[in-house]
Amino acid sequence: MPATNNNITLAVLAGGRARRMDGEDKGLVTVAGKPMISHVLQRFAADAAQTLIIANRNQDAYGELGHPVFSDELEGFQGPMAGMRTALRHCDSPYLLVLPCDVPMLPGDLLHKMLDQLQREDAQIAVACDDEREHSVILLMKSDLGPSIDEFLANGDRKILLWYNQKRLTKVIFPGQAEAFANINTAEQRDELEQRLLANKDL
């Protein structure tokens, strides 16, 4: 499939508290010689017309990566949906690809496969899945869903699955690729993923 630059905005979410990482800012934790978020940007920023970083701490450090940085407009670390809300307010393209900062080994064909299925099925949202589960913060969505998120959050809801299951949803399966969706929540997982990345020629 040809590049989708004019259709896609990429938003990388780096706004969490990372309690299981002793409060470290996960996106800036070094993995295989560079910040974890850099692995995500390296894989997907070239496919997007616009790349946004959503971060609630260390904005200057994130800004050095060369992309606009925005903080959640809702106070109190209200979760990924608050980050999605912020990203949609700054999205100038028909589609928004949402990725967390702590998944450095995502499949290289992730975007193209999700966009193809979303368009074929006339869905509003595509969520990535492996053989074992769906990954609710790895989403491709139509950028006109901002008002729906605003209403959902205004009602006090925060669960992404509850929100997107109310929409025209398609689940995009990546069979046999569970390891590609592994994320880092602890120092031990960081060490394990670092070894995988160092063994991967596609760094």
SS (HEC) of 145-199: HHHHHHHHHHCCCCCHHHHHCCCCEEEEECCCCHHHHCCCCCHHHHHHHHHHHHC
Confidence (pLDDT) at 2:
43
> 56-60, 68-72, 109-113, 156-160: lowest mean pLDDT where?
156-160
Task: Give the number of other Cβ atoms within 10 Å of residue 185's Cβ.
Answer: 15
Q: For residues 119-142, give the mean pLDDT.
A: 96
Confidence (pLDDT) at 16:
63
Q: Which amino acid, residue 101?
A: C
What is the DSSP code (8-state) at residue 91?
A: -
Q: For residues 158-165, give the mean pLDDT.
A: 92
Tokens 């904005």 label which residue? Answer: 59
The model carries a pTM of: 0.91
Comparing 19 with 137, which gets the higher pLDDT?
A: 137
Cα pseudo-dihedral 15, 97, 9, 85, rounded to 10: -50
Confidence (pLDDT) at 196:
76
Would you say residue 32 has pLDDT above 90?
no
Would you say residue 202 has pLDDT above 60?
no
Confidence (pLDDT) at 1:
42
Report the distance separating Cα 157 and Cα 173, nearest Å.
Answer: 27
- What is the band of 186 on the pLDDT scale with cuts at 50, 70, 90? confident
Q: For residues 188-201, give the mean pLDDT.
A: 76
Confidence (pLDDT) at 178:
92
- What is the band of 72 on the pLDDT scale with cuts at 50, 70, 90? confident
- What is the band of 33 on the pLDDT scale with cuts at 50, 70, 90? confident
Confidence (pLDDT) at 144:
97
Q: Can you point out the beta strands (E) in 67-168?
A: 69-70, 95-100, 125-129, 134-142
